[in-house]
Amino acid sequence: MASVRRKKYRRWEPQAYAQRAYTPGDRLPEGDLVFFLLDVVPTLDLDPFYASYEVETRGAPPFDPTMLVCLILYSYCVGVFSSRKIALACERNLAFLAITGDDRPDFRTISDFRKGHLKAFADVFTQVLRLAAELGMVGLGNLAWDGSKFKANASRHKAMSYGYMLKEEQRLREEIEALLRQAQQTDAQEDAALGASRGAELPAELQRREQRLCTIAAAKERLQEQARAEAEAQRQRRAEQEAERQRSGKKRRGKEPAPVSEVPADKAQSNFTDPEVRIMPQSNKGWDYSGNAQLSVDASYQIVVACFVTAAANDAQQAVPLAQATRDSLHQAGVALPQDEAGQAKKIPACADTGYFSEQAVAGVAGLGFDPYLATGRQKHNRPAAPAAAGPLPQPATAKERMAAKLSTPEGQALYSRRKVIVEPVFGQIKAARGFRQFSLRGLGKINGEWSLVCLTHNLLKIWRYRYAPSVN
């Protein structure tokens, strides 16, 4: 039930254009996306958007949050992500005018509203997922997981490698010592020039170098923390590989690996614009600061069930977080899990490529109620699927051998062969059709909020196209 609102808002009457000779309703097709959103958005629970306004009753009436929610959702649906471009479209685009009417927000209002309500948009994602499930668009017969890189709002020119940080730190310390010696030698003259009230202030050159030194020290600490985490993950991987060799009786090939180091590599970089993102390899074989966006997509209508962004460059540690995010999202949306004839919960098949596979990932995903189908190696294009294994598995079989045998069964081949057509087109629709290739916000928390907004609008588009668009009915 909606709460009682005390705040007075600007009047929002999108139907006012119906009284004019030239209206959006006359020019836009019946069942257009904008009319679908104008019908759906007011039915959602938008109290979290109103809460921040209700605590302050002074000042001029703000824009109605329902209108701003509808405006931002429509903008992301049609591939307009810049707040300045949204504000410009409100002046000359009929569909945008159908939402705002004559009282149009400026770009700053749109930008502040989006940044200030990212958590509320994540709640709208849950509501839209619930709506899709009620419409029968979430079958949970096969989930596909994948990740893709999206450029961060961070410049490569505002970064520094660990090796260069050590040199720059030494250089700055030497310059600071030289400036302090010079200041001591000319102390009497500077006291006379600056006056007694300013004698405790550092000269501008010293202030700049001290600030730069602190920035570099913080960046070094971030890289050292990342190196410690990566070293721990590498130790765990080596322990798993050694355990598999012990079980299978196989010997290690080649030389013994070098000891794990917790010291960052000289080429390891940290960005000063957005310290929470990391440089990652791109599809064009280049490198750039990015976020690794993860998706869990249902097979029935390509509805996104769960999504998040990680700073990890690969997907090796993301299978269990994706499984947990999927369970949490389904629970929050109240989506009923599939059951067998005895009324017991069935494991939901979940497919992912070889980048997600590890013994720990298989066990963790299965423990969360999923039936994992994780590829154990890359399959070349235009090659037939591997035949089913003949005879029983060797004893003791490794986790990789068991998963490979599972994927070679007719059921495994049928489920995994659908992975590419379930999840990869979703990234194509987001990147190519809507043009979303870079995050506008900075900081991993805000990036995750923006990704939820992108996936939320993807689900809205699916609901509209399959259930309400004129071309379908």
pLDDT score, position 473: 43
**Do residues 444 and 333 share a domain?**
yes
Rounded Cα gap, residues 161 and 167, in angstroms: 10
Identity at 4, one-letter amino acid code:
V
Q: Are residues 286 and 261 in the same domain?
A: no
User: In whole angstroms, what is the distance from residue 444 CA to residue 87 CA?
Assistant: 26
Residues 293 and 431 in one domain: yes
- Asked if the bond preceding 203 is cis, omega within 30° of 0, the reply is no
Number of domains in the chain: 3
Measured distance CA(167)–CA(318) in Å, rounded: 35
Same structural domain, 422 and 288: yes
The predicted structure's pLDDT at residue 177? 75
Q: Per the domain annotation, does 68 fall within a domain?
A: yes
Distances (CA, A) of 366 to 143, 297, 333: 14, 18, 22
pLDDT per residue, tens digit, the chain (473 aa), is: 556 676 777 878 777 666 666 677 778 888 899 999 999 999 999 999 999 888 877 777 889 999 999 999 999 999 999 999 999 999 989 899 999 988 899 999 999 999 999 999 999 999 999 999 999 999 999 999 999 999 998 887 777 777 767 777 777 777 777 777 777 776 656 555 555 544 445 567 777 777 777 877 777 777 777 778 777 877 877 787 777 777 777 777 777 778 877 777 777 777 777 888 888 888 777 888 899 999 999 999 999 999 999 998 889 899 999 999 999 999 999 998 888 877 788 899 999 999 999 989 999 999 999 999 999 887 665 555 556 555 566 677 788 888 999 999 999 999 999 999 999 999 999 999 999 999 999 999 999 999 999 999 999 999 999 988 776 44
**293 and 197, same structural domain?**
no
Q: Taking the C-alpha atoms of 409, 410, 412 and 415 in order, what is their torsion angle to the nearest 10 degrees?
A: 170
Q: Are the CB atoms for 129 and 328 separated by under 8 Å?
A: no
Q: Which domain holds residue 303?
A: 139-154+278-449
Q: Given phi > 0 = left and psi -120 to 50 = alpha, else beta, which region is 435?
A: left
Last residue of a domain, one of 271, 301, 322: 271
Same domain, 295 and 419: yes
Same domain, 175 and 253: yes
Give the sign of the dihedral formed by CA 104, CA 108, CA 109, CA 115: positive
Within 10 angstroms of residue 294's Cβ, the number of other Cβ atoms is 23
Predicted TM-score (pTM) of the model is 0.80
